Amino acid sequence: MTQLATVDQDKSVETINGAEILVEMLIRLETEYIFAYPGGCSMPLHQALRAQRDRIRTILPRHEQGGSFAAQGVARTTGKVGVCMATSGPGATNLVTGIADAKLDSIAMVAITGQVPQKFIGTDAFQETPMVEVCRAITKHHYLITDINDVARIVKEAFYIANTGRPGPVLIDFPKDVQQATLPLKDVDFDPPFDLPGYQPKVRKAAPEQISQVVAAIRRSKRPVLYVGGGCILSDASDELRKFALRTGIPVTMTVMGLGAFPGEHEQSLHMLGMHGTAYANYAVNESDLLLAFGVRFDDRVTGKLDEFAKHGKIVHVDIDPSEIHKNKEAHIPINADLKEALIALNAALTDADIPDIKEWSAKIADWKKNFPLSYRHSDEEILQQAAIDELYQQTKEKDPYIAVGVGQHQMWTAQFYKFSKPRHWLSSSGLGTMGFGLPAAMGVQTAHPNSLVVDIDGDGSFQMNIQELATLRCENLPVKILLLNNQHLGMVTQWEDRFMDGRRAHTYLGPVEDPEALGEGDGSLPELTYPNFVQIAKAYGIKARQVRHKKDLAEAIAEMINHDGPYLLDVLCVYQEHVLPMIPTGRTVDDMILE
């Protein structure tokens, strides 16, 4: 402890300041990495981090938003709390998108922001923003530290709140004067009691009678479907889910947050459901007589028109958050409980007599899979995004990689064509849909898993939102691979223009052009020169890079990328008129699904 303490003038009493207390608490709470960008109101915190560099690794992102997504990369793949930090004012507000993203995807994160000294709060001081007010609606909880005696308790509570119950982000706003205030070291309690009278996140268990109701519903069902979301992964329930699914034979479909909860290549897997889910998953849910909704929130991208979603059967909804029960869709058997505990109870309660006879149902699903498979057109010359993702999958699936994505068409194609076999290996900004998520999220994953293969599959639009993090990869020696699917367009918006706006291009082309109205004509292939030159940009950051545009070069280029020792950017030029299919238009039903 003496290594972080300072000594006062008379050399008789060791003291410690507020910033040092916070850093010591981070370390005691097993924080190994913090993504932090310094500024005037967070300098004491950075000095404290510098003094503890042998105990906690501070990584300097090149933008605070990048740091917030990197912290999520740690949290999403380890199950621990991710930590990021910024200074006051613009530094703090640059974290807001990452905080909102963590809130919607239920990611445990603690965001620490410097704040102006207390006497200046409310005076519109230089680089002052009221971060508690700004973040009130997008955090699970928030703190403004006003007393150095509260620092240790607040940090302990913030971690506890972030990673218990339904996980989420917690903000700690830390005025500079409190950071600099000191206490005698002997007076600091580094394991203080909680002061959380209104927060009691006990592990909720399903009542025995509820479990009996579910078992009875399973026994009577003829067309059951498991609908599994991110709550299964967050509760570490994947093993119990697999045991349950294999025992009952019930087919499994997953949300975009639930991918990896059940092996994607297993014959019972229906893959993703919803707007861009598989046709057979959507057909199965539509015709099911029992929908086992585990760790899901019935969001609009899954349900489409709510009144028509899964209306032919009984719904069992298990979720740890009571506010989600009946919020969007009425459940016939609502269970507010931890999903892992509920599945343990279900697995224990099931007998051979409870296993439903679903041979006809399984045969019908097999026919749907045969008649409506995920597919894409093949080309001997052009590179289609789906083909690039499929090739990456074939070359890496045995390497147990972590895959992060940006937001757009490439995100949905990756969800469709990369079959995840394990939880916590897929990272997607799913609820907020934040472009720029992929690269910094992969950066955080690589930090936490230095010996693993980490790939960011990105689009040229999304990638440029946080392209500056290439510098972090290089300077921190993080060997992230970037598969850049470059179609020179905002592909998903372009798809909607094609489908619903007669192909009229409205600011979705990302390159320089004399005649925007001419775009969209022809075969969708790209010009010889594309903009910007991503290979030159990557090389300027000191990162190895290569561009490919012909199908014959793709497999070898991907092999070179994944086998390179350091970070690598592969710029893959793709056609821009491909659409992500199937597609259920917003607010519509499975009957409106676009298949071709």
Q: Which residues are catalytic?
A: 64, 126-127, 176, 492
Q: Contact at 8 Å (CB) between 116 and 127?
A: yes
CA–CA distance, 148 with 17 (Å, rounded to integer): 8
Give burial (CB, 10 Å; 0-12/13-18/19+) of 412: buried
DSSP 8-state secondary structure symbol assigned to residue 522:
T
CA–CA distance, 73 with 452 (Å, rounded to integer): 13
Chain centre distance of CA 250:
27
Listed residue (567, 563, 569) closest to 546, CA to CA? 569
Residues contacting 578, CB < 8 A, separation 6+: 376, 384, 385, 386, 409, 487, 491, 524
In 321-382, where does DSSP find H-type helix?
A: 339-349, 359-371
Listed residue (422, 467, 475) closest to 447, CA to CA? 475
CA–CA distance, 453 with 184 (Å, rounded to integer): 46
Give burial (CB, 10 Å; 0-12/13-18/19+) of 323: exposed
* Paired sense of beta strands 182-184 and 141-144, if any: unpaired
CA–CA distance, 489 with 506 (Å, rounded to integer): 11
Break the chain down into helix, strand, coil percent, rounded to 5.
Answer: 40, 15, 40
Residue identified by tokens 């994953």 is 445
Q: Contact at 8 Å (CB) between 57 and 447?
A: yes
Q: Contact at 8 Å (CB) between 313 and 288?
A: yes
CA–CA distance, 265 with 364 (Å, rounded to integer): 19
CA–CA distance, 467 with 537 (Å, rounded to integer): 9
Between 279-287 and 359-371, two packed helices, what is the crossing angle to 10 degrees?
A: 150
Buried b (16+ CB within 10 A) or exposed e, 526-542: beeebeeebbebbeebe
Amino acid at 263: P
Q: Contact at 8 Å (CB) between 63 and 466?
A: yes
DSSP 8-state secondary structure symbol assigned to residue 311:
T
DSSP 8-state secondary structure symbol assigned to residue 444:
H
CA–CA distance, 476 with 471 (Å, rounded to integer): 8
CA–CA distance, 27 with 205 (Å, rounded to integer): 32
